[in-house]
Amino acid sequence: MKLFPSSYNYSHRINSRYTLINNTLTGALDIVENNIWSLVEGKKFNSIDAEPLSNLIERGYLYYDLKKEDEILVTLYDNYTKKVSSRPLRFVFCPSYQCNLRCTYCFQTDLPSNPNKFMSSKVLDDTINAAEEISKEKSGKVDSVELFGGEPLLLKNKPLLKKILKFAKEKDAPITIVTNGVMAKDFTDILLPVKEKIKMLQITVDGPPEIHNKRRKFPSGKGSFGKISESIDSLLKNNIHTNVRVNIDNTNIEYLPDLYEYISKKNWIKNPDFNIMLALITDHSTLDYNNIIIPEEKLLERLIKVYDKYPALEDTFGFYKFKPLRHILDIVSGAPNVSPKFINCESNLLELNIFCPDGYIYACGESIGNPEYAIGKFSPKLEFYPDKEKLWTGRTILNIEKCRTCKFAPLCGGGCAYSSILIYKDNSKPICERYQEVLDTFLRLRGEKILKKYINSF
């Protein structure tokens, strides 16, 4: 009987004996002998011994009828839609569009000039009322309250934040705060009463002082590292969960060892309330690269060179912020169920209700301040715009034509909806990231480690 390879097979030859294979739809990941996979690629199925052949069929790498694979895709999607029908209810409050820094790579450069600089008390009351009304659909349950901006931790915002934190406490909701950290220590008094509910207070530090200060500076040009370091000290002293985000690009990646040395000397790294992670700088308004934002596999290769010199950094930072690698990293780490991604992010589920000073509700943090992309309005009254909601919800890998034939679609979910809107003025176009190149680079440089970890898990 005739056999057909899955449309979702990815493979990479690790060494002279083994090939890693992964089916991105089913989540199957296996190590096979090179000669067996060569026969699969050559479609010489009759030459494969019975046991490995049956394993390949059972694991979803081969089908007797490709219609069966499409049925699996649709079934998984149906299961997925049922699962996300009870999506978390997350409220994001942006008390101001203003920021006290002018970071060199900020994607919100237009926000400080927005006429709606700060929420008024009336607009904040409308925000709380809207959140209460929306939460009634879930019997009053709120899954998280988040502070975002602009910069939320500005002194002018303090009375507003007291009300927002009071709302979070009444709803027994976990709290997340995204701040540049410059003034965080001045908010300790209102954070302490809710510190047990603070899931994460995120502050960005982009390197040691001399590097960070070139990137994250005040309008005057002065660097912000000193103020931020003081804030982290204060937060940790008060046992407030603090997460440092390090935005990496082509200009600062080699300075990770210096930053690691700094946080080690400060003893932050040993503090149970401290966490640190990498993030990749992106520009969702273009597909082009420059001397700062380079192809992701090039950045990965440079990061691995740093890790090779400083192994402790790999243990601390890892690779999880490279989206093309998460699927394999999860499987190798023993995740019980790695499901395909039918969408790119939570914005496609309208999971976020982002309340902003202009009175609008947004689905995506990068779209705030652009009312044409708002999904509703909360002031002076609550209303949603179904046609605008479809900009986000109407985008899955099943209805993006190019994604239906792409083996990486179950990993990327079609790419960023907001990028598609900005670049193509159309939410139905795929935003293709460099999954093949990133995976190939990672397995070329770390494949032996993956192989060893995978084999030792059996």
CA-to-CA distance for 29 and 27, rounded, in angstroms? 6
Q: 124 and 99: one domain?
A: yes
**What mean pLDDT comes out for the span 355-364?**
97
Q: 146 and 244: one domain?
A: yes
Output the six-digit token pair for 116.
Answer: 């709606």
* pLDDT level of residue 458 (50, 70, 90 thresholds): low
Terminal Cα-to-Cα distance of the chain (whole angstroms): 33
**What mean pLDDT comes out for the span 269-282?**
96
Q: 154 and 110: one domain?
A: yes
CB 345 within 8 A of CB 413: yes
Q: 352 and 330: one domain?
A: no
Q: With a cut of 90, say whether residue 270 has pLDDT above it.
A: yes
CA-to-CA distance for 351 and 364, rounded, in angstroms? 9
Domain with 137 in it: what CATH number?
A: 3.20.20.70
Task: Specify if 30 maps to a domain.
Answer: yes
CA-to-CA distance for 447 and 450, rounded, in angstroms? 5
Query: DSSP secondary structure string, 216-259?
Result: SB-TTS-B-HHHHHHHHHHHHHTT--EEEEEEE-TTTGGGHHHH
Q: With a cut of 70, say whether residue 1 has pLDDT above it.
A: no
Provide the whole-model pTM. Answer: 0.94
Task: Specify if 444 maps to a domain.
Answer: no
DSSP, collapsed to helix, strand or coil, labels residue 134 as helix
Q: With a cut of 80, say whether residue 455 has pLDDT above it.
A: no
Helices (H) and strands (E) in the chain, counts: 16, 15
In this structure, of 150-159, 330-339, 392-401, the range with the lowest mean pLDDT score is 330-339
CB 7 within 8 A of CB 405: yes
CB 98 within 8 A of CB 117: yes
CB 216 within 8 A of CB 223: yes
* pLDDT level of residue 162 (50, 70, 90 thresholds): very high
Q: With a cut of 90, say whether residue 182 has pLDDT above it.
A: yes
Q: 241 and 125: one domain?
A: yes
DSSP, collapsed to helix, strand or coil, labels residue 179 as strand
Q: 370 and 294: one domain?
A: no
Task: Specify if 16 maps to a domain.
Answer: yes
**What mean pLDDT comes out for the span 160-172?**
97
Q: With a cut of 80, say whether residue 113 has pLDDT above it.
A: no
Q: Which amino acid is at 208?
A: P
- Confidence (pLDDT) at 254: 97
Q: Which amino acid is at 422?
A: L
Q: 33 and 120: one domain?
A: no
Task: Specify if 400 maps to a domain.
Answer: yes
Q: 214 and 353: one domain?
A: no
Q: 209 and 137: one domain?
A: yes
Structure confidence by residue, pLDDT tens digits, 15-56: 999 999 999 999 999 999 999 999 999 999 999 999 999 999
Q: 95 and 222: one domain?
A: yes
Tally the domains of the chain.
3
Structure confidence by residue, pLDDT tens digits, 188-231: 999 999 999 999 999 999 999 999 999 999 999 999 999 999 99
Q: With a cut of 90, say whether residue 114 has pLDDT above it.
A: no
* pLDDT level of residue 84 (50, 70, 90 thresholds): confident
- Confidence (pLDDT) at 37: 97
- Confidence (pLDDT) at 247: 98
Among 304, 338, 372, the domain boundary falls at 338
Output the six-digit token pair for 40.
Answer: 């699969």
Helix or strand (DSSP H, E) at 83:
helix 66-84
Q: With a cut of 70, say whether residue 167 has pLDDT above it.
A: yes
10 Å CB burial of residue 425 (0-12, 13-18, 19+) is exposed
Q: Which amino acid is at 131?
A: A
Q: 149 and 180: one domain?
A: yes
CA-to-CA distance for 56 and 47, rounded, in angstroms? 14
DSSP collapsed to 3 states, 252-293: CHHHHHHHHHHHHHCCCCCCCCEEEEEEECCCCCCCCCCCCC
Angle 434-436-437 (CA atoms, 0-180°, nearest 5)?
65
- Confidence (pLDDT) at 99: 94
Q: 109 and 160: one domain?
A: yes
**What mean pLDDT comes out for the span 316-321?**
96
Residue 215 DSSP one-character state = H
Query: DSSP secondary structure string, 140-163?
Result: T--SEEEE-SS-S--GGGHHHHHH
Task: Specify if 373 maps to a domain.
Answer: yes
Query: What's the chain's average pLDDT?
Result: 94
Task: Give every strand in the sheet of 9-13, ordered side by side.
Answer: 9-13, 18-23, 29-33
- Residue 78 lies in domain: 4-82
Q: With a cut of 90, say whether residue 404 has pLDDT above it.
A: no
Among 82, 100, 124, the domain boundary falls at 82
* pLDDT level of residue 443 (50, 70, 90 thresholds): very high
In this structure, of 109-113, 234-238, 242-246, 381-385, the range with the lowest mean pLDDT score is 109-113
* pLDDT level of residue 457 (50, 70, 90 thresholds): low
Task: Specify if 32 maps to a domain.
Answer: yes
Structure confidence by residue, pLDDT tens digits, 321-336: 999 999 999 998 888 7
Task: Specify if 177 maps to a domain.
Answer: yes
Residue of higher predicted confidence among 109 and 253: 253
Task: Specify if 386 maps to a domain.
Answer: yes
Among 291, 318, 338, the domain boundary falls at 338
Exposure letters 106-129 (e unless 16+ CB within 10 A, then b)? eebeebbebebebbeeebbebbbe
